[in-house]
Amino acid sequence: MGPESFELLREFAPTIFVLGAVYCLGSILPITRTWARSLIFAVVWSVVAWYLHWRLIATILPATGTWYEIGWLWICFAIELLAITEQFILYLMFLRTADRHAEADRHEARMRALPEDQLPSVDVFIPTYNEPIEVLEKTITGAPCLDYPNVKIWVLDDGRRQWLKAFSEAKGVGYLTRPDNAHAKAGNINHALTQTNGEFVAIFDADFVPQRNFLMRTIGFFFDAEIGIVQIPHAFYNHDPMQTNLALRKTVPDEQRFFFDAIMPSRDAWNAAFCCGSNSVTRRTALRAIGDAVPTEAITEDILTSIALLRKGYLTRYLCERLASAWHRKRLRLSSSSASAGRGARFKSSISPTDRLVAV
C-alpha cells in the first residue's frame, strides 16, 4: 500500500469510524436510557467541537484576501454556526424521552372501572371542506364505533353540502355548518365549540379513522388538572411517495416517523409537546381560559393553541401509540407551518426560557 493509499485512508477514516459505530452500536445501545443518550451527545459534540476548532483555526483565521472575500468567509461561517446551533438544540432535547404506554394502561383501567354515567362527555369533531365521499366515508363510519359511551360525533362541513348532511344523518352523527368560511379550519372548530358542550373535544381530520379504544387510552390523562391537550401520532395505512416510488417500503420508515416517534416523545419529556391538529383531545375548560376558542392568527391553530394554553399553565401530553390512521395522501408542510406559527405566536413572552428554547 503506497503513500497515496494511506493518505486517502486518513481522509476517509472519520467517515468510516462514524459509519462503523452506527452499524455496530445502533442496534445494541439502549437508546431509551438516559446514559446512552448522554454518551451519544458527548461523543457527537466532542467531534463537532473539534471540527469547529479546525474550521476556525485552519480555514478562517489564516485566510487572506480583500475585505469582501474575508467578509464572505465570515458570513459563511456564521451561517454554519447557526445550523450547528439548531442541531445542538435538537440533540439537547434528545437527552430526554418519555414513554407514556404504562401510564395510559393505568388510566384506561381506571376509566373502565368507572360507571358509564361518571365518564366525562366528549364531542368528536370531523372538520371538512371539500373532501369527497371516498375519504369521508371511512371516518364518519368509523368514529361512531369508538368504545366510549358518553360521546357525540359531529361533522363540521365548511362546504355546506346537502349530500354530506344526508349521509351524516344516515350514519347517526351530528352535522354542523356555518354561513361563511372565516378563519378556515380554526373558524370551523370555533363555530362548533359554540354549538356543543362536551367536557372534552376530540378532533380528527377528514381522512383519519380512530381505533375503538382511542378515547379510553387518552381521556384518563386529564385526571391531571395540568393537562390541557393529549396528542396522538399521525399514522398511515399506506406508504408515502418516497417509499413507493423508490421501492423502499420494507427498509425506510415513512417521512413522519422521525417527528412522531423520536422528536415528539423527547419534546414531551421536556413538557414541550404541542398539538398537531388531528388525533388530539382538548379540555374545554382549558379552552375557556384562552377565550373559549382556538387561535385564528395563523393557519397553525393547533400549535398556537398549545402555546396559548402553556401560557395559562396547561401542558400538552403526547402518547406515542397509533390509535388513528389515515391514507397517506399529502406531505407535511413543515416550513410554511413553522413560519406561520412564528408569525402568530405573540404568546411566547410569558413562558419560561426552557419552554421557549425547546419550542424553537
* Interstrand relation of 227-231 and 280-283 (parallel, antiparallel or unpaired): antiparallel
List b or e across 195-219, with b for residues whose CB sees 16 or more CB atoms inside 10 angstroms: ebebebbbbbbbbbbbbebbbbbbb
Residue listed under C-alpha cell 420508515: 253
Instruction: For residues 254 and 241, give the distance between their C-alpha atoms in angstroms, rounded to a whole number.
Output: 9
Give the residue carrying C-alpha cell 406515542. Answer: 320
- Tell me the three cell numbers of residue 148: 366510549
Q: Which is catalytic among the residues 158, 205, 240, 254?
A: 158
Find the helix or strand (DSSP H, E) in which 116 lies.
Answer: none
Closest of 294, 281, 148 to residue 227, by C-alpha: 281
Helix (H) or strand (E) holding 323: none
Note if 224 is an active site residue: no
Distance CA 188, CA 39 (A): 47
- Residue 158 falls in the annotated catalytic set: yes
Instruction: Provide the annotated active-site residues.
Output: 158, 302
